[in-house]
Chains A and B, each alone.
Chain A
Amino acid sequence: MYKYDAIDRQLVNERVAQFRDQVRRWQAGELTNDEFRPLRLQNGLYIQRHAPMFRIAVPYGMMNSTQLRTLASVARKYDRGYGHFTTRHNLQLNWPKIEDVPAILAELAEVEMHAIQTSGNCLRNITTDQFAGVAADEIIDPRPLAEILRQWTTFHPEFAFLPRKFKIAISGTREDRAVTWFHDIGLHLKQEGGETGFTVIVGGGLGRTPIRGQVVREFLPWQHILSYCEAILRVYNRFGRRDNAYKARIKILVQALGVEEFTRLVEAEWEHGKDGPATITQAEFDRVAAHFTAPAYDTVGAVDLPQDKAFQRWLERNTHAHKVPGYAAVTLSLKQHGVPPGDITSDQMEAVADLADRYSFGELRISHEQNIILADVKQSDLHEMWQKAKAAGLATPNIGLLTGIICCPGGDFCDLANAKSIPIANAIQARFDDLDYLFDIGELDLNISGCMNACGHHHVGHIGVLGVDKNDAEFYQVTLGGRQGNDAKLGKVIGPSFSAGEMPDVIAKIIDVYIENRQDDERFLDTFDRIGIDPFKNRVYEGRAHGKAKVAQQEAA
């Protein structure tokens, strides 16, 4: 993976000193709260329900074991011994003290980590596919360009104060695993006539106004991504709305102008930057790409793996095709039933670091599904590794299944949330704790967000759950049929919302309708697409008064 050189190290160290000075001036009253807020946000520091929440970047999800051990140590020393992986390649600490953050940043800088631009109205962390470099269906490894983009976004002088946050995702596989249709900019690598480039998608996003992105350019040769992103950002920085935070994302600008006019502005802007100094040189690409060369794989033949059922289940769900024969990519599940999804203790981080060192060349990745991937495990090591992962609580065989829930921290931690999300996830996991049944249900993405900001990506869950506030009480709206990938689309709202207590039953009824209706090997989504939303709606609201009937009932009571 990428190793800092002199300039990278220098800038990160200078950032630590800068933030230490900003905290000092804020404490001394030289910076007002309003003046300090954007500065701390651009260092990942929110003021939250219980304490500051601190968000550390894991650029494009790549980490080594040393870095993970440092995160474990930081979480233990400055927090309560655990952290939370988000859907955008970040680790969040829930309880650090503001005055400790400069010291935390200094410890992170030692291992080439930082919290630069992990929140605030600026260019955020670049995200990509967790199987980059090893996926069997990969066209091009997106990581060198992700790193080049990371550097370009870091302290960009023109775009430090955008109308709103700005997220870029890059994917290099046939099947998009980086949610590129729902980012401010989605870059989908492709090859055309022997040339490598991107489809440039702009104006997607989840959140309050979920919109699928639109193609602004079908094919952009890779050398031009920085100048093209500059053109997009300049149009957005100048013309994006700043009068209303809810209307300030680039998706609103693209909608307001129409994609044709937006594209015209971007292309006109790009005419000036095209072939300019921001054009990426082959030398720079090669320099960065040299950091992402394949590890020293052994030549290994096929192996017979033990047949025991629990192990086979884990193999089925938690291991993935690898482009090198005899190897597999492994997902360590952070979705153990009863634990907040995405949470990991310091002890577990250290266990993962040990596994990475022993079995996967000392490297790991974070997925947007909030799990950890060991990308290069020898198949002959899988059984031994599984036993160790199991002992650490990291081998729940539920990747891609109903209980492998994507979930935001929700109302337990987050100030923005309208409702709690973790208890809903845990209640559903408890209800579907039978592994035979869970496997029988098969592939199903259940995503939960505690508010319309959609950090839990509920819109693209096959089943999506959104926490809403109704007269100061927590309720949950359910959507069906959402999906990520190449055919990404938004789920449809099934009807009026439910109380927390109703949610496990609601999910159970939805699953019942699927099981009763499925044909052959249909997955949940296939059945849903064939029979539509009505059978689900009818079952879920059966015998439940709503609309006029509910009003009548309330009036009678």
Chain B
Amino acid sequence: MMAQLIKNHTAQADSWLTLELAEGQSPETVSLPAGDVIFPLAVWQARKAEIISCHKRIGLLLQPDERVEDIAGDLDYFIVIAVNFPKFVDGRGYSTASLLRQRYHYQGELRAVGDVLHDQLFFMQRVGFDSYALKEGKDAVYALTAGFSPFSDGYQASTSQPQPHFRRRA
């Protein structure tokens, strides 16, 4: 069973393949699959020219400890950036997303992948994610109904609402 992709307020099929390095494979030598591929950062860094020459649509996968600063100059190449949450309690991906959107003005798809659960969708949306690979076995229909709207507003400035609430008071 696959993770279920939530995007544009619907559950939909995922056209992207994520390249995973198997035991013994290295970023320098792994064979690059065709089609819409999300590449790990190490592969992107090692094979950038090759990837650009043979892929029209490029995706990037960022792990929690990988720094946005290191790919800030490459953002225009990516159709999608996937930010991995190995465990949902690892909150580094929220800062990654905030930086991508707010500081580096990344405009492409920003996808939460990994341990993506119903009760974090609201926060993810606020920091700038716009697609969500909901963990397998979780109820995508209910997530669409209730997961994004437990709260009708937020106090803080965020990607989805750049003005804090106190600046929006009548």
Contacts from A to B (Cβ < 8 Å): 7, 10-11, 14-15, 17-18, 21-22, 25, 30-31, 35, 38-39, 121, 148, 151-152, 154-162, 226, 234, 237-238, 242, 272, 276-278, 280-281, 283-284, 287
Contact between B164 and A278, CB atoms less than 8 A apart: yes
Contact between A158 and B127, CB atoms less than 8 A apart: yes
Given contacts A121-B89, A237-B94, contact A157 B155 (CB under 8 A): no
B114-162 at interface with A (beta carbon < 8 Å): 117-120, 122-124, 126-127, 138-139, 146, 150-158, 162
Give the chain A neighbours of B164 by CB distance below 8 A.
152, 226, 277-278
Give the chain A neighbours of B124 by CB distance below 8 A.
157
- The chain A residue sitting closest to B92, CB to CB, is A238
- The chain B residue sitting closest to A235, CB to CB, is B95
Contact between A14 and B152, CB atoms less than 8 A apart: yes
Candidates A31, A157, A242; contact of B127 at CB < 8 Å: A157
Contact between A159 and B94, CB atoms less than 8 A apart: yes
Give the chain B neighbours of A162 by CB distance below 8 A.
91
Give the chain A neighbours of B117 by CB distance below 8 A.
35
15 A–B pairs (Cβ distance < 8 Å), ordered by A = A7-B153, A11-B151, A14-B152, A18-B150, A30-B138, A30-B139, A35-B88, A157-B156, A158-B94, A158-B127, A159-B91, A160-B120, A238-B92, A272-B103, A278-B157
Q: How far is the CB of A243 from chain B (nearest CB, A)?
A: 11
Interface string of B91-106 (1 = CB under 8 A from A): 1101100100001000
- With A and B bound together, what is the CA distance between A14 and B148 in angstroms? 13
Contact between B89 and A38, CB atoms less than 8 A apart: yes
- The chain B residue sitting closest to A5, CB to CB, is B169
Q: Confirm or deny: B163 has a beta carbon within 8 angstroms of a beta carbon on chain A.
A: yes
Give the chain B neighbours of A151 by CB distance below 8 A.
155, 165-166
Given contacts A22-B119, A234-B95, A237-B94, contact A281 B166 (CB under 8 A): yes
Q: How far is the CB of B27 from chain A (nearest CB, A)?
A: 23
Q: How far is the CB of B28 from chain A (nearest CB, A)?
A: 28
Beyond A161-B89, A277-B157, 17 extra complex contacts between A and B, CB < 8 Å:
A7-B153, A18-B151, A21-B146, A21-B150, A30-B138, A35-B117, A151-B166, A155-B154, A155-B155, A157-B126, A157-B154, A158-B91, A158-B127, A161-B90, A272-B103, A277-B164, A284-B169
Contact between B152 and A158, CB atoms less than 8 A apart: no
Contact between A277 and B167, CB atoms less than 8 A apart: yes
Contact between A237 and B139, CB atoms less than 8 A apart: no
Contact between B156 and A152, CB atoms less than 8 A apart: yes
Give the chain A neighbours of B89 by CB distance below 8 A.
38, 121, 161
Contacts from B to A (Cβ < 8 Å): 88-92, 94-95, 98, 103, 117-120, 122-124, 126-127, 138-139, 146, 150-158, 162-167, 169
Give the chain A neighbours of B90 by CB distance below 8 A.
161, 242
Contact between A157 and B123, CB atoms less than 8 A apart: yes
Give the chain A neighbours of B162 by CB distance below 8 A.
277
Given contacts A237-B94, A238-B92, A281-B166, contact A39 B119 (CB under 8 A): yes
Contact between A14 and B150, CB atoms less than 8 A apart: yes
- With A and B bound together, what is the CA distance between A188 and B153 in angstroms? 31
Q: How far is the CB of B47 from chain A (nearest CB, A)?
A: 27
Contact between B155 and A154, CB atoms less than 8 A apart: yes
Candidates A7, A30, A237; contact of B95 at CB < 8 Å: A237
Given contacts A7-B165, A238-B95, contact A156 B156 (CB under 8 A): yes
Give the chain A neighbours of B157 by CB distance below 8 A.
276-278
Give the chain B neighbours of A11 by CB distance below 8 A.
151-153, 155
Give the chain B neighbours of A277 by CB distance below 8 A.
157, 162-164, 167
Give the chain A neighbours of B123 by CB distance below 8 A.
155, 157-158, 160
Give the chain B neighbours of A18 by CB distance below 8 A.
150-151
Contact between A160 and B94, CB atoms less than 8 A apart: yes
Give the chain B neighbours of A283 by CB distance below 8 A.
166, 169
Contact between B153 and A10, CB atoms less than 8 A apart: yes
Give the chain B neighbours of A272 by CB distance below 8 A.
103
- The chain A residue sitting closest to B150, CB to CB, is A18
Candidates B95, B146, B150, B166; contact of A158 at CB < 8 Å: B95
- With A and B bound together, what is the CA distance between A152 and B165 in angstroms? 10
Contact between B98 and A17, CB atoms less than 8 A apart: no
- With A and B bound together, what is the CA distance between A280 and B155 in angstroms? 12
- With A and B bound together, what is the CA distance between A284 and B164 in angstroms? 11
- With A and B bound together, what is the CA distance between A154 and B158 in angstroms? 13
Give the chain B neighbours of A38 by CB distance below 8 A.
88-89
Q: How far is the CB of B58 from chain A (nearest CB, A)?
A: 25
Contact between A14 and B155, CB atoms less than 8 A apart: no
- The chain B residue sitting closest to A238, CB to CB, is B95
Q: How far is the CB of B157 from chain A (nearest CB, A)?
A: 4
Given contacts A7-B165, A281-B167, contact A237 B154 (CB under 8 A): no
Give the chain A neighbours of B119 by CB distance below 8 A.
22, 31, 35, 39
